[in-house]
Amino acid sequence: MAKRPAEDTLASAPDSPASKKARLQNGANRSDSRPAPPAASSEWRENDDSDGNGTINGEGSGRTPGHENHEDGTADEEEDDIDEPRGSSSRPAAPDERYSDLYLDTISRKNMDFDFEKLCSITLANINVYACLVCGKYFSGRGPKTPAYFHALEIGHHVYINMETKRVYVLPEGYEVKSKSLDDIKIVVDPRFAPEDVKALDRRKEPSWDLFGKKYIPGFVGMNNIKANDYLNVVVQALVHVPPLRNFFMLEDLSSKPQLAQRFSILTRKIWNPKAFKSHVSPHELIQEISLRSSKKFLLTEQADPVEFLSWFLNHLHLSLGGSKTKPRSSLVQKIFQGQLRVESQTITAHADAGDRLRFEDAAIKSQSTPFMILTLDLPPAPLFQDDAEKNIIPQVPLSTVLQKYNGITAQERMNTRMRYRLLHPLPAYLIMHIKRFQPNKFLQSQRNPTIVTFNPRALDMSPYVEPNPQCHPLGEPLVYDLVANITYEGVKVRDDSVEGEAERKVWKVQVREGGDSQQWWEMQDLYVDKVNADLLATKESYIMVWERRKAAAKPMATAA
């Protein structure tokens, strides 16, 4: 065959391969020492796969216009998430149809755990994070010189999911996989619910099964205690069983809200997910944000008081949803839990008789209305001495007795001030009560009151403790509440080599009721979930109780004359 004349251009050669433009700008910023392409050629064609410097198909350290590679090897988010124009990169936008399912058989769903904070395991970056669907580790980026790219080359794990967009890619080739077989993984990463699914949650009784063959009930799953975050677990379990709060965080789009609201939303959806890979969840992602927002007051390594955390969490969740610091009931959180309380105070005079220290004088009473989200109940002092049988009997007190604090008559003394309280209409849809068990003693140590508060989990009448208001509630009719969640305390003696001899380890548990008309109760302590008899609820040392106002039957209201 005759030789092609020298003046002919390469573009005119028959059966020429498709042009592959190098990711360079006018031949600059080259990563190797090779000379520039000859001037006779209008484009540089790179036919070899490797140039000895780690450059594959012309990628390596070249830079695409508008997409810079950083010094640490991480690519810009735009390069990873936006499809490049055809021909601008040698990496295929889509695989050949014959190989579209390549590497999908290497996916291991049992290794996946998307509950932990989305941080690259190499650089600790939290932007543009991908999860390896083979080993479950997190890596940042998918472009050349990124941790995910090198993980695919060195370890041979090729399938990755973007934790933000939920798009699945194969590396190092870089093409996107659009297969229906991956939908279950996307659901576990970020569960989504339709309104009809949320309405059916309280009616759903069928159990689900995880990948390990373990049966679980959605909404009644264990939470991982990473080290000492059991105080957070019980509060979250109680809140996600408050239907209006749960429904809001499961349905609303909170992508524009602060991270605290977003992470609580996704944790709520994972707790109620009927298609989970594991029968438990981890609050690691949420507690990392809480630790940051609280200036490390609430950590996963140190126990804290659940009521202190609950108060902080509700207030900051209220602010995260756009609530006001001064305007009451300005967010869903306050609309659900906030009520009004009238506080009357009077200074104790020096000439008052000892028997009249708690008697109010109308002329000197100061009254004000203040909002509340948690009602504090004081326990009577525990007995100091043993009984005739030389045994300490655990004292008991009815819940109706400790609620007398809010009847507007019973007075309490605080230093040199008399105080009395009265609830005002309208009461919130959900009442949170805190039974104050811990008091600091003279040695500045926390001393526990073991008094048991007895109660009936159904039909608690709050009308005796609320100031009558016919415009809000008919006179003489009960104001009934039913128990939804009950956080209990249990002290476990542990051996201590110090001078004190024995110490007490705090154990927090939560008891929650199934939704609807069911009277089945579940008790959860970290990963342990078990049914509990409703009659045994009052035998534990209750610490925080959440009560739901019962909806009254619709009755025609008599018009005022």
User: Which long-range CB contacts under 8 A does 215-218 form with residues at least 24 apart?
Assistant: 215/279, 216/276, 216/279, 216/529, 217/522, 218/271, 218/272, 218/273, 218/274, 218/276
Q: Indicate whether 153 and 87 sit together in one domain.
A: yes
Domain, as residue range, for 15? 1-63
What is the per-residue pLDDT for 46?
34
Tell me the pLDDT tens digit for each residue of 214-273.
999 999 999 999 999 999 999 999 999 999 999 999 999 999 999 999 999 999 999 999
Q: What is the mean pLDDT of residues 203-213?
A: 86
Do 434 and 500 belong to one domain? yes
197, part of any domain: no
pLDDT digits (tens, 9 = 90+) for 173-200: 888 998 899 999 999 999 999 999 999 8
Which range of 61-65, 208-212, 501-505, 541-545 scores highest in mean pLDDT? It is 541-545
**CATH code, 273:** 3.90.70.10
Same domain? For 74 and 37 the reply is no
Same domain, 76 and 99: yes
Which of 44, 63, 82 represents a domain boundary (last residue)? Answer: 63
- One domain, residues 245 and 134: no
| Residues 288, 227 share a domain | yes
Region 128-155: what's the mean pLDDT? 94
Task: Based on the fold, state whether residues 73 and 51 are members of the same structural domain.
Answer: no
pLDDT given at position 35? 41
| Position 288 in a domain | yes
Q: Which of 298, 327, 356 represents a domain boundary (last residue)?
A: 327
Span 449-471, pLDDT tens digits:
899 999 999 999 999 999 999 88
The answer to whether residue 448 sits within a structural domain is yes
Residue 553 CB neighbours (<10 A):
5
Confidence band of 54 (pLDDT split at 50, 70, 90): very low
pLDDT at position 13 over 50: no
> Do 12 and 90 fall into the same domain?
no
287, 429: one domain = no
Domain CATH number, residue 169: 3.30.40.10
Residue 301, CA distances (Å) to 68, 154, 230, 290 in order: 40, 35, 10, 13
Q: Is the pLDDT score of 75 beyond 60?
A: no
The percentage of the chain sitting over the pLDDT mark of 90, rounded to a whole number, equals: 57
19 closest CA partner among 41, 1, 35: 41
Tell me, yes or no, whether 178 lies in a domain. yes
Q: What is the pLDDT of residues 100-123, one digit of tens each?
A: 678 999 999 999 999 999 999 999
Question: What tens digit of pLDDT does each residue of 364-396 get?
Answer: 678 889 999 999 999 998 776 655 555 667 889
Residue 138 lies in a domain: yes
pLDDT value at residue 233? 97
Do 512 and 466 lie in one domain? The reply is yes
- Residue 561, in any domain of the structure: no
What is the pLDDT confidence band of residue 99, given thresholds at 50, 70 and 90?
low
When divided into structural domains, the chain yields a total of 4
Same-domain check for residues 362 and 246: no
Quickly count helices (H) and strands (E) in the chain.
11, 25
What is the predicted pLDDT for the residue at 269? 96
Q: Are residues 47 and 147 in the same domain?
A: no
| pLDDT band per the 50, 70, 90 thresholds, residue 62 | very low
pLDDT digits (tens, 9 = 90+) for 268-289: 999 999 999 999 999 999 999 9
